[in-house]
Structure 1
Amino acid sequence: MRHAAAHPAPRPPFRRRARRGAAQVRQRRLGRRGADAVQLDGVARLLRRDGEDRPGVRRPGRGRPGTVAQVGRRGPAEDPGPDGAGAGVLRRYPLYIFDLDGTLYRGDEAIPHAADTVRRLVEEGSAVRYFTNNSGQTREFFARKLQTMGFPCEPGMVYSTATGVAALCRERGVDRVFCVGEPGLVQTLREAAVEVVNADAKGRVWPCGEASAVVVGICRSFTYALLDAALQCLLKGASYWATNTDATYPLEGGRLEPGAGSLVAAVSTCAGRGPDLVVGKPSPWIVRQILEETGVAPQDALLVGDRPETDLACGRTLGCPTCLVLTGVTRQAPPDQAFCEDLRGLLDPTLR
């Protein structure tokens, strides 16, 4: 419940839906200089400010002096609890991992305020990485697209399910695959010295060839013949990898188009089994790779996306805090999920 204050702080742009039976929270200032606290069910609890929670860990932002954060999973910039869901102390993060489709852009249109927010985070010292389940393009394509829209980006900052499949092939010693996918996936695999047995020189896939692994991703040239060829490989014992299982992709004007998950469903139905491995979200495999390459601990990396069941689930598996943005597929936040209407919620002025 809220209490009147002599100088009420501006209302932050993110919201938290009230929960039945939630604890009543009262704020008060401790007598100790520079310390903030809340009182929850009659128990005073000391809150740490930005930059004071763990010595030796870089803190790109600093909390506004005198700010008091409420207990409860209120907003996206929360100090994570043991489960990575948030324990109430609002702060900036050393690393932000952003989904692309529905979070930063829809089709060829940048989502309002997204580029400004990401630039601001980078200017203040945070590292940024981009992770998309879209396997249809190369790292270079996504980097150019983001740069054109005003996002700070280099190819090495982009992680996709195409790069994830290439890394998986290297890890497992697979050098030949049958691919249901776009030319961008084919090119990424070829750059990793993986032969795509059913692709021509331009990266277009055809219903021919055999391999020890079948990779299924978004494929706008999908045909019955291609489905049959993938099935024949699987019936002969090939491994079955899916780039992701997203049912749809968000486009301009709120339109949706079928995603890779619809093609994975078709292959799984005729094969009588699901994929042996899903490379992209909600699998934590690529997020773990990002954390290892950046040297950031899970609790110091905020995952931001528009799908709780994929974008955010992979973060929670690793203990990362998460934030749902309501600019893509999801229009209403589940209970207990930190969220914001758009990315401005990551730059709440009351926290600075």
Structure 2
Amino acid sequence: MLAARYDALLFDLDGVVYRGDEPVPGAPETIGALRRAGARIVFLTNNSSRTPQQVSAKLGAMGMPSPPEEVVTSATATADLLAARGGGTAFVMGGDGVVGALTDAGLQVLDGEPESVDLVVVGIDDDLTYARLRTACLLVHRGARFVATNADPTFPGPRSELWPGAGALVAAITTATGVEPEVVGKPHAPLFHAALHRAGGTNPLVIGDRLDTDIAGAAALGWDTLLVLSGVDTEEELADSPYRPTYVAADVRALLLDDVVRVTGP
């Protein structure tokens, strides 16, 4: 089977194993079969709103029991990167996943309307208010380093809907300040490296639904990829895209097959 050709399987979450609060058809059975076969599995996601513990609980509720240690989010990768640089004070526009990751890594998160901070860190924020957006912009104007957990403009919701992602919030701050952020999540390398380190392999396969993040980022590292059409991107978008996956399939059930379609050219 396809999965057996690799020593680590790095799964995106939204649009790959679930959409909103529903599992992608066949995902629970596939993850179970892969575990029985001894596959090394890690989930990596640009969604920064949930902690690894919350993601673990969500997967378990959908019939895919997975320990928090198998979950690497853009928030945890961002926190580890900033802590390695010395940490500092941060104003966060993001959910519990971002705040918790930064706090656990030793950064001081300031709420309210601080006069100054070292960092403005932005992720998906379900509780966004204009006041918090204004504060983030003012702090960037005053010299805070602008860091984004990811820049996805959308993410897949239920009923094939696309909901605004962290990239929409990042764009608002960039528009107001003229400052471009440092982005940690896919397609940038830090999140991929963190996931492979967690898995412990050397020959990974990245499974994702977005050509411009999952596929482009892994391909830039020389890693093989499987594009699944259960999330954001479609066959039509693949035909027009400069980013080429190694394989393409309808969903993750292809990992259990031998005859998966290989993409050979532009």
TM-score over 0.5 for the alignment? Answer: yes
Equivalent residue, structure 1, for 2:225: 322
Equivalent residue, structure 1, for 2:263: none
SS at match of 2:180: coil
* Pair 1:284-2:189 in alignment: yes
1:293-320 deviation digits (Å, cap 9, x = unpaired): 43322xx200001101001222111111
Name the CA distance, whole Å, in 2 between partners of 1:121 and 1:342.
14
- My pick for the range that moved more, 160-169 or 207-216, is 207-216
Please report how far the alpha carbon of residue 225 of structure 1 lies from its aligned counterpart in structure 2 after TM superposition: 2.0
From 178, 186, 190, give the equivalent of 1:272.
178
Please report how far the alpha carbon of residue 209 of structure 1 lies from its aligned counterpart in structure 2 after TM superposition: 4.8
Name the CA distance, whole Å, in 2 between partners of 1:324 and 1:137.
24
Letter in 2 for 1:294: A
Equivalent residue, structure 2, for 1:179: 92
Name the CA distance, whole Å, in 1 between partners of 2:8 and 2:43.
11
Please report how far the alpha carbon of residue 273 of structure 1 lies from its aligned counterpart in structure 2 after TM superposition: 2.1
Name the CA distance, whole Å, in 2 between partners of 1:97 and 1:152.
16
Name the CA distance, whole Å, in 1 between partners of 2:231 and 2:259.
26
Q: How does 1:79-228 map to 2 (within 5 A)?
A: 92-198=5-111, 206-228=112-134
Q: Which has the higher contact order (CA 8 A, sep 6+)?
A: 2
Name the CA distance, whole Å, in 2 between partners of 1:131 and 1:208.
32
From 182, 193, 204, give the equivalent of 1:301.
204
Name the CA distance, whole Å, in 1 between partners of 2:102 and 2:22.
28
SS at match of 1:324: strand
Could you tell me the percent identity over the aligned residues?
Answer: 39
Give the count of matched residue pairs: 254
Aligned-pair RMSD on alpha carbons?
1.8
1:149-184 deviation digits (Å, cap 9, x = unpaired): 121411110000111121012111113101111123
1:217-270 deviation digits (Å, cap 9, x = unpaired): 111222222222112211221111001111111111112211100000000111
Please report how far the alpha carbon of residue 208 of structure 1 lies from its aligned counterpart in structure 2 after TM superposition: 3.9
Structure with larger Rg? 1
Letter in 1 for 2:100: Q
Contact kept in structure 1, 2:125 and 2:166, CA below 8 Å? yes
Please report how far the alpha carbon of residue 210 of structure 1 lies from its aligned counterpart in structure 2 after TM superposition: 2.5
Contact kept in structure 2, 1:118 and 1:152, CA below 8 Å? no
Contact kept in structure 2, 1:119 and 1:151, CA below 8 Å? yes
1:8-36 deviation digits (Å, cap 9, x = unpaired): xxxxxxxxxxxxxxxxxxxxxxxxxxxxx
Letter in 2 for 1:346: L
Name the CA distance, whole Å, in 1 between partners of 2:163 and 2:212.
18
1:81-104 deviation digits (Å, cap 9, x = unpaired): xxxxxxxxx953211000000100
Equivalent residue, structure 2, for 1:36: none
Name the CA distance, whole Å, in 1 between partners of 2:172 and 2:108.
24
The 1:155/1:180 distance shift into structure 2, 3 A limit, reads same
More helix by share: 2
From 205, 211, 215, give the equivalent of 1:312.
215
Contact kept in structure 2, 1:197 and 1:209, CA below 8 Å? no
Please report how far the alpha carbon of residue 350 of structure 1 lies from its aligned counterpart in structure 2 after TM superposition: 5.7
1:260-295 deviation digits (Å, cap 9, x = unpaired): 0000000011111211x1110001112112223433
Name the CA distance, whole Å, in 1 between partners of 2:148 and 2:125.
12
Name the CA distance, whole Å, in 2 between partners of 1:163 and 1:141.
13
SS at match of 1:334: helix
Contact kept in structure 1, 2:8 and 2:200, CA below 8 Å? no
Contact kept in structure 1, 2:116 and 2:142, CA below 8 Å? no
Contact kept in structure 1, 2:70 and 2:198, CA below 8 Å? no
Q: Could you state the TM-score of these two structures normalised by the residue count of structure 1?
A: 0.69
Unaligned runs of 5+ in 1: 1-60, 62-76, 78-89, 199-205
